[in-house]
Chain A
Amino acid sequence: AQRVTQPEKLLSVFKGAPVELKCNYSYSGSPELFWYVQYSRQRLQLLLRHISRESIKGFTADLNKGETSFHLKKPFAQEEDSAMYYCALSGFRWGNQGGKLIFGQGTELSVKP
């Protein structure tokens, strides 16, 4: 079964410190992985996806198929990065009816001044 695990409910760091939000997945095929972010009182929005290999707001994420991980990293955290972060998996592009996403439990990132 497909599953996404975010082991940390809360991650608290100081401004300027490196950040790594962990995401592990369980899927037998070729996954598509995403990070969504939800700032306080705002809607979820896409932060980045592994196939685009972009760096958004200083965040990067690399898909490691050997470790089945897609950790989100940023070298220097900013206070405005404080938000809830969700890792999501979309499996089997050609067979997934409706492009369904499976979300992890979410990690709340708190960046302190």
Chain B
Amino acid sequence: ETGVTQSPTHLIKTRGQQVTLRCSSQSGHNTVSWYQQALGQGPQFIFQYYREEENGRGNFPPRFSGLQFPNYSSELNVNALELDDSALYLCASSRDRAGTEAFFGQGTRLTVV
């Protein structure tokens, strides 16, 4: 196990709703990144949080937002859900913002209907 935990494991939402996904990073890690993985695809980088600040962002619209807390846990919020938002959402923590070894959680499977 990586020590990165995500909740919930599965979630079903209706189009137009809002969702919050949670991630607890591995002990000693101050950086959290979020990825979206569509079925049969590789994960796509959404954004990264380092010491409670957004530190980098991929090609995702502003309705994808996040937070990092003083204990380095993190939330991913998605507003105005669309059917294409259905995916596995992965959280990865790392010891610092530039390292290569990131530890992934098991993900949250979001289904938008």
A binds B: no
Residue ranges of A at the interface with B (Cβ–Cβ < 8 Å): none
